[in-house]
Chains A and B, each alone.
Chain A
Amino acid sequence: MTAEVAARTGISTTTRFSPAWLAERLQGVVLHVAVIGLTVAWMVPAAGLLISSFRPFTAINSSGWWTALAPPYNFTLDNYVKVLQSSNMGHSLFNSFMITIPAVVIPITIAAFAAYAFAWMKFPGRDWIFLALVGLLAVPLQLSFIPVLKVFVSIGLVVQNWGFVGVWLAHTGYGLPFSIYLLANFFRALPSDLFESAEIDGAGTLTVFFRIVLPLSVPAVASLVIFQFLWIWNDLLVALIYVGGTASVAPLTVTLANLTNSLGQGYNLLTAAAFISMIVPLVVFLTLQRYFVRGILAGSVKG
């Protein structure tokens, strides 16, 4: 113990002023400067907008956001208040939830069923179908809009009659390939012994699925939920096509895009609106980041 301490202090006294020690310190400093510098630079675009969103209209138009960092401080909540009053942000927020929640639940549930079959059941053509599903990841969604929309209109599956049902179904179709891919890879990596053991124990397919596969796949499912949530919440295109821009049904992204086009120079409201649209995904993202990362990895490097 004492010898250890002596050894340690001995080392530190001998190395304190050595060139190697200095070089190491310097390297450390350079490293921290580089890391922090890059991170700060990376934050500039978002920070600029965030700061602007708290600045009054006249200030935004006449000086850069960085001038607000020096006194006299001149911050206001006006932009947020106005955007919430004048446009239908509040209602759009609700529409976004209304669209997103079922459009997350339905595809993930259906994908979990299918992924279970792809991972642990045998049926003719299984591997080919799976490969084809993955291939669908490459299909540009845009090409499916017109034919699908035609069918929707002809059977009356439009917003006026059925609310968001059409967009839920569409998101289900679009979200499935990735969801199945991710979940099947995860399910497949579960040890086969568990399934055999459960079989001997007398567990049926449903029991195995609900009591063993799903509980063990919480990380994968959670990450998929976040993925799908972000993708739908942030989606503009599918919403534009199947829901349209009508104020009463438009989700946040559509409303924001409308604002972008209509306000033109009225940047002050747009800044606030953009941040309102980010709040929910950022909260979801920051609280569940750990799972999100795990999911990305499950889909790429780790099985």
Chain B
Amino acid sequence: MSSVSYDHVVKRYTSDLTVVKDFNVEIADKEFMVLVGPSGCGKSTALRMLAGLETITEGEIRIGDKVVNHLAAKDRDIAMVFQSYALYPHMSVYDNMAFPLQMKKMKKSEIDKRVKQASGILGLDNFLKRKPKALSGGQRQRVALGRAIVRNPKVFLLDEPLSNLDAKLRGQTRVELQKLHRDLETTFIYVTHDQVEAMTMGDRIAIMNAGILQQVGAPGEIYDHPANLFVAGFIGSPSMNLVPVTTQNGNAKAPGFDIKLPKPVSAEKGILGFRPEALTDRVADDGATLEMKVEVVERLGSDQFLYGTVGGEMVTARVDPRMKVAPGDQARLGLDLRGIHLFDAETEKALL
């Protein structure tokens, strides 16, 4: 069993600098969990506490059933891939991968077997004798993975392992990592600030902001039901349209907007949210219509995005690519009421 659980975990550097606050997550065995959030929100810190590289100020972290708070990093049976890869520059690829096994005083023949196996999986067979300096970024990244794989760890930790790769290689490696996860059947915890990586790779995603866990859930669930304003704005590209509204008699109102909410809400001031794909050129009878002053038209082949204002608010719409529209036009667009969200203006929590 290599589930991981964070139980009311806090990381405090000084009395007034708390970078992880009351962090609670259960990560199931063999799950691919992605920890995502903006830069500086404490993702790495959360991960490093699990790795044993930072002390835990409060709370407990368990791997399986075992509390690991006071266990040394090497005894936690985890492997970590660093953003910089942290390859030992003076050792060959082979020695880099063999190093953790040598530390376990494993037999030479067993080490050799495991390194060969890992290098086979990662396609590094031809590079075993080289030093890291003589490898490309992608190859280095695979060596870092290899060093983690050979240990056969209970939990695999990856801290932004793709951010030093170019866009194409990143896409490729994303797929390879998922395949690796299936083949190894191990728990993966993956830290990134890139929400596209999070959405495409994770079985589940945990979103953090300013040290606080915002929401945990499957990618689709988070996309469709963001728990609060931050998650709504963070996940999705282009991001969700957010418009301050006042609610009266089950309607949300703002200049240019008058939208019937699917169910009545108690709060008076709210933020109305809808993704660009909910605002289209299809005007339905039971839906709402918005008049948009188009400012920028972005044609992407399969899609067409319109950027403009509705009643003074910046709004993005995703319309049929065949729709003829030019900057300066007034466009009549339909809002799909199944795709609207409402957040409390004060607590920022979802109300619908």
Residues of A within 8 A of B (CB): 191, 193-194, 196-203, 207, 212, 215-216
Contact = CB atoms under 8 A, between A and B. Distances in A.
B103 A201 contact: yes
Contacts of A202: 74, 100, 103-104
A44 B48 CA distance: 62
Contact of B79 (A193, A194, A196, A200): A200
B90 A193 contact: no
A215 B51 CA distance: 26
A194 B53 contact: no
B89 interface: yes
B73 A215 contact: no
A199 B89 contact: no
Interface stretch (B80-88, B133-141, B171-179, B288-296): B80-88
B103 to A, nearest CB: 4
Given A202-B74, A202-B100, A203-B103, A196 B86 contact: yes
A194 B90 contact: no
9 nearest CB pairs, A to B = A202-B74, A193-B86, A201-B100, A202-B103, A197-B86, A215-B90, A193-B82, A199-B73, A200-B73
B78 interface: yes
Interface of B: 48, 51-53, 72-74, 78-80, 82-86, 88-90, 99-100, 103-104, 147, 151
A200 B99 contact: no
Contacts of B74: 199-203
B89 A216 contact: yes
Contacts of A197: 80, 82, 86, 88, 147
- Residue with the highest number of chain A CB atoms closer than 10 Å, among B48, B86, B89: B86
Contact of B82 (A196, A212, A215, A216): A196
Contacts of A203: 74, 99, 103
A243 B92 CA distance: 48
A194 B104 contact: no
Nearest to B153: A200
Contacts of A193: 82-86
A191 B83 CA distance: 12
B89 A200 contact: no
Contacts of B53: 196, 199-200
A191 B53 CA distance: 15
Contacts of A215: 90
A191 B99 CA distance: 18
24 contacts: A191-B84, A191-B86, A194-B88, A196-B48, A196-B80, A196-B86, A197-B80, A197-B82, A198-B88, A199-B73, A200-B52, A200-B74, A200-B78, A200-B80, A200-B100, A201-B99, A201-B103, A202-B74, A202-B100, A202-B103, A203-B99, A203-B103, A216-B89, A216-B90
